[in-house]
Amino acid sequence: MHIHEIRVLPDHLVNQIAAGEVIERPAAVVKELVENALDAGSSRIEVDIEQGGRKLIRVSDNGCGIGLEQLPVALQRHATSKISSMQDLERVASLGFRGEALPSIASVSRLSIRSRTQEAEHAWELELQPASPAEPDIKPAAGNAGTVISVRDLFFNVPARRKFLKTEKTELNHIDALMKRLSLARPQCAFCLRHNGRVLWDSPAGSAQQDEKRLRSLLGKGFADAALAIDLAAQASGLDLSGWVARPEFSRSQADMQYFYVNGRMVRDKLITHAVRQAYQDVLYHGRQPAYVLFLRLDPRMVDVNVHPAKTEVRFRETRLVHDFIFRGLHKALAEPVAGAASATEQAASVPAVNPSFRPSLSDQSRLPLQAHEAQAAYAFQQPPPEDAGPAAGNSSETAAASLPEETHAFPLGYAIAQLHGVYILAQNEQGLIVVDMHAAHERITYEQLKAQYNSHTITRQPLLLPQTLHVSEREARLVEEHAQAWQRMGLSLQRFSKDTIVIREIPALLGRTDAEQLVRDSLAEWLLFGTSRLVEQQVYQILSSVACHGSVRANRKLSIDEMNALLRSMEQTERSDQCNHGRPTWFQLSMQELDKMFLRGR
Ligand code: ADP
Ligand code: MG
């Protein structure tokens, strides 16, 4: 290998390297330019795009403008008007502060700026040729107060980047989504987006109504309908959280509807994601993702924004404080009972076994109050027999009819008449037909019982016939050793056996016959997921929820009519049994009227 001379890179190349980090696609240019316009105090920002941004990106604003002498300076590397000292850097209130965007963009495109300050008699226009960046061409021009920055032929001199550009439509979608995200955080500013001369949307500044419109256009109606408005403030710490979170019945399979802004800057932050997830821990299905748009405001000195070139990450000085504020606030908000109908659109779509048109809205559940005192606990729910214990009466309609009591209205959830494909319990009550997802229902019951027992330190454990030895990672083995007490309280007697083996001795009695190994593996995984041991207390429910999942009747298990009835009675006595631990419904009612309607039968 040759030893080369060490050289200082020419400015232009340095800028292109910086551009590599920040300007990955047209939407990134739009982000930088619109953020500059916002920093300039604009109240209206218009964005013109041609060919998905490949040909032209133009951002026009009515902000403070840039004076003649300042124009060439704005294009120099590390030139910024936003900070001037270390103290400033420690309390950045603007979106920009690194002074890198304009020179970076200019190094990979043909850039021009037309700008006019309030005081100036006319505008000035600066045109930059990447070949001779040192001598920009500046001419007087016509134009209103404010700034227009045009970026043409993006990546014309970076073939590698150009190759990675997606179709015009895809790039435009990125720009569209980005602008909607930015606009959500700035209700007091009007935004307009045009593509190839056509207005895609034009959102005036300001009212609550506009706010809601922006919310809908970014996240859709499903979100807006399930949205819970948040407005929390902690006086002592000066933290303030506002925005919307979706109630658990609207969740996502991806983390694609999670928008978090810190002092108006959109960020992705593990701490925040974790705090929000925790707030949902009790009500959201494993692997389902909450949807939210949240704005956190705090003293800029409490957060370091200079962590990442694209400024999408932040570091909080008081992580614990911020985490707890978000977690506690949202947890409480989500626990409050919901009035009115819930939106179940997404679930309806994700349950292919149910024809959506046969699916009444979840609000039907609320017509039927489940009151513990109504249930006389006629049956004690027993663990269902294992699959190989022979068929039960579940699929025989004759047996079902025979054991059907005459007084069908005695219990809100009625009496079981059959089991459908090993998944649903069909029951008859006064109003008509009840369909229960037996696994979801049982899981909720087990979970609520575990929680109650956990809180009163009374989870009963049941020894395994043969203690089971398990190979695990060293980290997991350590977890078992160091937190034996905590595991014990959750009903699991675990013991470290060697460097990387553990022994399971007891599991919660509530669970009956359960695959203990899978149960412990999943619980360990759950625990590892949040890592830090100081959070264990807050995560217990999460682990209990995963424990409950294992102990619950699986699909395809035949239940006898008595067992099904016992499950229905337990549901009636269990709090929150309308939804499983993860926010999915556990049952719904199909009334006689609805059935009659389906069959066009007038009565
Ligand atoms: P930064 O935003 O980090 O300061 P930029 O390279 O994005 O760096 O911009 C450099 C400077 O140019 C800004 O600090 C600001 O003074 C000026 N500037 C850029 N865009 C605008 C605009 N739309 N209106 C007014 N001033 C602007
Ligand atoms: Mg900037």
pLDDT for 344 equals 29
Q: Would you kindly state where each structural domain of the chain is located, as residue ranges?
A: 11-203, 208-334, 341-603
pLDDT score for 303: 92
Q: Is the CB of 97 under 6 A from ligand 1?
A: yes
Pocket test for ligand 1, best of 31, 36, 189 (most atoms within 8 A of CB): 36
What is the reported pLDDT for 164? 86
Task: Name residue, tokens 């908000």.
Answer: 333
Shortest-distance atom of ligand 1 to CA 101: 6
Ligand with smallest separation from the Cα of 31: 2
Q: From atom 25 of ligand 1, which residue's Cα is the shortest distance away?
A: 65
CA of 579 to the centre of ligand 2 (A): 47
Q: What is the C-alpha separation between 205 and 187, in angstroms, rounded?
A: 6
**Which token pair is 395?**
């699929």
Domain 208-334 has CATH 3.30.230.10: yes
Of the listed ligands, the closest to the CA of 78 is 1
> What pTM value is reported for the model?
0.62
Alpha carbons 200 and 31: distance in angstroms, whole number:
17
63 lines ligand 1 (CB under 6 A): yes
> Residue 5, exposed/middle/buried by CB under 10 A (0-12, 13-18, 19+)?
exposed
- In 455-543, the DSSP E strands lie at 461-471, 493-498, 501-508
The Cα–Cα gap between 339 and 227 comes to 12
Give yes or no on whether 11-203 and 341-603 have one common fold. no
The architecture that CATH gives domain 341-603 is 2-Layer Sandwich (3.30)
Q: How far apart are CA 172 and CA 156, in angstroms?
A: 18
Residue 520 makes CB contacts below 8 A (sequence gap 6+) with 470, 492, 494, 502, 504, 507
Element (H, E) at 22: helix 11-22
Distance 587 CA to ligand 1 centre (A): 57
CA distance linking residue 416 with residue 403, whole number of Å: 9
| Residue the block writes with tokens 């040729």 | 129
The per-residue pLDDT for 65 is 96
Q: How close is the Cα of 35 to the center of ligand 1, in Å?
A: 9
123-127/110-116 β-pairing: antiparallel
Contact 570, 412 (CB under 8 A): no
Contacts of 311 (CB under 8 A, 6+ apart): 95, 98, 265, 305
425/417 Cα distance (integer angstroms): 8
98 CB near ligand 1 (under 6 Å): yes
Residue 228 pairs in a beta bridge with 245
- What CATH number has the domain spanning 11-203? 3.30.565.10
CA distance 340 to 350: 23
Residue owning the nearest CA to atom 2 of ligand 1:
96
d(CA 314, CA 92): 12
- Ligand 1 pocket test, pick from 22, 38, 102, 189 with the greatest ligand atom count within 8 Å of Cβ, gives 102
Q: What are phi and psi of 288, to 5 degrees?
A: -80, 150
Query: Measuring from atom 18 of ligand 1, which residue has the nearest CA?
Result: 36
Mean pLDDT of residues grouped by 10 in the chain (603 residues)?
A: 78 83 91 96 97 97 95 89 85 87 92 95 87 79 96 92 89 94 93 96 84 86 88 89 90 86 92 90 76 95 86 88 92 64 29 28 30 28 37 38 48 90 90 90 84 85 89 88 88 91 90 80 76 56 78 70 88 74 78 88 67
